[in-house]
Amino acid sequence: MTSRRISHDKLRIFVHDVFVASGVDDADAEQATDVLMWASLRGVDTHGVRNLKRYYIDSAGGVGRRDGVIRTGAPLTVERDSPTTATTNANGGMGLSASVKTMTMAIDKATTQGVGIVTVRNSTHFGAAGYYAHMATHHDMIGFASTGYLFPNGQPKAVTPFGGLLPMLSTNPLAMACPGSSGPAFILDMSTSVVPVNRIEMLEELGKSLPLGWALDDQHRPTSDPAAFTKVVPLGGATELGGHKGFGLAIAGWILTGLLSGAWREKPDPDRVLGDIKGPVDEFAQEGIGHVFAAMRLDQFGDPDTIKRGLDVMMRKFNESPPAPGFDRVMIPGQPEAECMQNRLHDGIPLSPSTVTDLSSLSKQFGVELDMDK
């Protein structure tokens, strides 16, 4: 089977209708669809519609995955609140929609107070971190988003600590976005590991090998076989390449997402402790995935128009600088994805054979038409 392309409008309708048919509230389904479509349009296929079945629908149906079974319809509750901060509990609900709601809370607090920071605990996979950071740019704000998990007793297919053998961390991504004036926003969205686990999974589906240095097998040896990997190394890998810095970034992100959210707790609900390897029930462990979202109004630091025009000039200066051999031009984070979005809005979104199979299966399962004609 070859790859197929489908118009973004048709795919959006299909994804939304599948969410609703699976029992997701219409408003939550709309928010979740926006997150997945944003990633697919921007070429971030590891976090887009490819994950609809395996990460969200199968989990909601009770099949589960190491990110936890999604409790469809679970409310988002506020546990602590102040003018500038809040901590919330997703209660095991859909991480995609819970994250849109909590980022909106951060933006609302920033609107009135200049800055807003909101954490979430007991959540599930939230997709592309960049989506939530980018939400703030529509309000003349800088946005920040991160998610994280710590497996205290280890977990296959996770990230090892620098200098360690036991994989203990998720890929703990972080994202920051700043609006421009006439050009695209700056959007940094990166894992704190050399590579996200789901990119390795995607390469396995495509029958491709891994660059050596991305992942390790169960004997802690570098492997190019995506089916053989059990460990991912921190960003940088070896000491001389800054692996200790990637490890430090992963912990810093986890402090904001796992620790401050209250996800890391004594005597957590064992049903919400993720992973295959459980520890004693009376010691600290993480209850669901933790997230953090922040927004800062530009006018707290200067004239928003001047700041945005300044970002445009910065971007142009980099673009006009001489490219290194093998590169057509220098681009900053967010630019390649913005160009990809324009192409995919016109040409349609490419779907791998495995994704087409997954979507076709969902179409039959829920009786939702999948129109693959572009």
Q: Are residues 29 and 173 in the same domain?
A: no
The model's confidence at residue 214, banded by pLDDT at 50, 70 and 90, is confident
The partner residues of 236 in beta bridges, in order of sequence, read none
User: What's the rounded mean pLDDT across residues 233-239?
Assistant: 83
Provide, rounded to the nearest whole percent, the portion of the chain with pLDDT above 90.
80
In a domain, 132, yes or no: yes
Q: Are residues 247 and 290 in the same domain?
A: yes
DSSP 263-313: -EESS--GGGB-SS----TTS-EEBSEEEEEEEEEGGGTS-HHHHHHHHHH
User: What's the rounded mean pLDDT across residues 218-239?
Assistant: 89
Q: Are residues 150 and 274 in the same domain?
A: yes
User: What's the rounded mean pLDDT across residues 330-347?
Assistant: 96
146/71 Cα distance (integer angstroms): 22
Angle at CA of residue 266, ends 265 and 271, nearest 5°: 75
Residue 90 pLDDT exceeds 80: yes
Burial profile 184-208: b = 16 or more Cβ within 10 angstroms, e = fewer:
bbbbbbbbbbbbbbbbbbbbbeeee
Q: Which domain does 209 fall in, by range?
A: 197-232
Residue 212 pLDDT exceeds 90: no
Cβ(333)–Cβ(311) below 8 Å: no
Nearest to 347 by CA among 41, 122, 86: 41
The last residue of a domain, from among 307, 328, 359: 307
From edge to edge, which strands make up the β-sheet containing 115-123? 77-81, 85-89, 115-123, 289-297, 141-148, 174-178, 186-190
359/353 Cα distance (integer angstroms): 10
Q: Are residues 84 and 171 in the same domain?
A: yes
The model's confidence at residue 242, banded by pLDDT at 50, 70 and 90, is confident
User: How many distinct structural domains can be found in the chain?
Assistant: 3
User: What's the CATH code of the domain at 39?
Assistant: 1.10.1530.10
Four-residue CA torsion sign, 230, 236, 240, 244:
negative
User: What's the rounded mean pLDDT across residues 106-117?
Assistant: 98
Q: Are residues 226 and 179 in the same domain?
A: no
Arithmetic mean of pLDDT over the chain: 93
In a domain, 315, yes or no: no
In a domain, 80, yes or no: yes
The pLDDT of residue 239 = 66
User: What's the rounded mean pLDDT across residues 203-220?
Assistant: 89
In a domain, 114, yes or no: yes
In a domain, 203, yes or no: yes
Cβ(204)–Cβ(227) below 8 Å: yes
Task: Say if strands 141-148 and 289-297 run parallel, antiparallel, or are unpaired.
Answer: antiparallel
The pLDDT of residue 315 = 96
Provide, rounded to the nearest whole percent, the portion of the chain with pLDDT above 70.
97
The model's confidence at residue 140, banded by pLDDT at 50, 70 and 90, is very high
128/125 Cα distance (integer angstroms): 9
Q: Are residues 136 and 226 in the same domain?
A: no
Q: Are residues 134 and 271 in the same domain?
A: yes
Q: Are residues 256 and 127 in the same domain?
A: yes
Q: What are phi and psi of 81, to 5 degrees?
A: -150, 140
Residue 301 pLDDT exceeds 80: yes
| Residue 64 CA, distance from chain mean position | 18
The pLDDT of residue 213 = 85
Residue 246 pLDDT exceeds 70: yes
Q: Which residue has the tokens 């920071």?
A: 117
The model's confidence at residue 372, banded by pLDDT at 50, 70 and 90, is confident
Angle at CA of residue 359, ends 354 and 360, nearest 5°: 95
In a domain, 326, yes or no: no
The pLDDT of residue 64 = 62
In a domain, 202, yes or no: yes
| Residue 161 CA, distance from chain mean position | 21
The pLDDT of residue 267 = 86
Q: Are residues 139 and 102 in the same domain?
A: yes
The last residue of a domain, from among 177, 211, 232: 232
User: What's the CATH code of the domain at 189?
Assistant: 3.30.1370.60
The pLDDT of residue 69 = 87
10/252 Cα distance (integer angstroms): 40
Nearest to 216 by CA among 234, 230, 197, 199: 230
Q: What are phi and psi of 141, to 5 degrees?
A: -135, 155
Residue 195 pLDDT exceeds 70: yes
Q: Are residues 122 and 263 in the same domain?
A: yes
Q: Are residues 246 and 302 in the same domain?
A: yes
In a domain, 119, yes or no: yes
User: What's the rounded mean pLDDT across residues 131-149?
Assistant: 98
- Using one digit for the tens of pLDDT, what is the confidence trace for 31-58? 999 999 999 999 999 999 999 999 999 9
Residue 278 pLDDT exceeds 80: no
The pLDDT of residue 205 = 86
User: What's the CATH code of the domain at 221?
Assistant: 3.30.60
- Using one digit for the tens of pLDDT, what is the confidence trace for 249-267? 999 999 999 999 999 999 8
Q: Are residues 158 and 19 in the same domain?
A: no
| Residue 323 CA, distance from chain mean position | 30
